[in-house]
Amino acid sequence: MGKRIRAQRKGSSPKYQVSSHRFPGKNRMPNIEDEVAEVAELIHSPVHTAPLARVKHGYDEFMVVATEGLAVGQKIAFGDNVSLRPGNVTTLGNLPEGTPINNLELRPGDGGKIARSGGSSCIVESQLDSGRVRVRLPSGKTRDLPQKCRATIGILAGHGRSEMPLMKAGTAHYKAKARGKQYPTVSGVAMNPVDHPHGGGNHQAVHGPNSVARGTPPGAKVGHIAPSRTGRGRGKRK
């Protein structure tokens, strides 16, 4: 009788479960207008690439991604009549051309969807006559968004995260462990038959179907998960 494979052990063992302290909370811009809030705390979140800022507004608390230069005790203004200071939140229609922004909304009131990873930012390019604003995204593409979409002024904190070298394999291991992931990873064909459905054999090949259904149990849910099609693609014959 064989033992449970690695995918099965991950499903039930506390060793592979991420503890709740790794998730400080949801980061989303609040729907408040013409108000001033105060930064109470800067939080390191293992599941985010940028630090979070715990902001107090009266008796309410919420978390947003921290803009570069933000400090504890700093005031953050929300609304149309705000200064061009990093951390303030306003609509695209109030921003001049060339302003760097982060945590940009795609639709007014959605809380921020674009430029939320560490060190990223968008650039306001131009105010269009159609009531929209042309914004250059971190990917380099441009997009025309409604003037009522809100954004945070400044560049997001956490810049240079991807430039740090991993000098040792142990460093990569602990970096992945902090995010609840596994490093190093081993391919299934390199394992024994008791460790993975693709394991065993005299050569490293799957030797059988590698497509499984969407509702397959964890122990066998490996390979191509619910593929739309299988087999070699057939183009038009000439």
Fold type of domain 164-224: Ribosomal protein L2; domain 3 (4.10.950)
54 φ, ψ to 5°?
Answer: -90, 120
Sheet holding 100-102, edge to edge: 60-65, 52-57, 35-43, 75-78, 89-91, 150-153, 100-102, 122-127, 132-136, 142-146
Q: What per-residue confidence (pLDDT) applies to 122? A: 95
What is the gyration radius of the CA atoms in the chain, in angstroms? 24
Distance CA 212, CA 222 (A): 7
> What's the rounded mean pLDDT across residues 98-111?
92
Q: What per-residue confidence (pLDDT) applies to 11? A: 65
- Residue 163 confidence (pLDDT) above 60: yes
For residue 171, count other CB atoms closer than 10 A to its CB: 13
Sequence ranges of the chain with CATH classification 2.30.30.30: 21-153
Closest CA to 1 of 193, 204, 188, 189: 193
Q: What per-residue confidence (pLDDT) applies to 58? A: 85
Cβ atoms of residues 159 and 118 within 8 Å: yes
Q: What is the DSSP string of 168-214?
A: SHHHHHHHHHHTT--SS---GGGS-TTT-TT--SSSSS--S--EE-T
Cβ atoms of residues 2 and 191 within 8 Å: no
Question: pLDDT > 90: what percent of the chain?
Answer: 47
Distance CA 183, CA 196 (A): 17
Q: What per-residue confidence (pLDDT) applies to 125? A: 94
- Residue 178 confidence (pLDDT) above 90: no
Strand partners, 65: 52
Domain 21-153 has CATH 1.10.260.40: no
Q: If pLDDT is split at 50, 70 and 90, which confidence band does 63 have?
A: very high
8 φ, ψ to 5°?
Answer: -70, -40
- Model confidence pLDDT, tens digit, residues 114-159: 999 999 999 999 998 888 999 999 999 999 999 999 999 999 998 8
Sequence ranges of the chain with CATH classification 4.10.950.10: 164-224
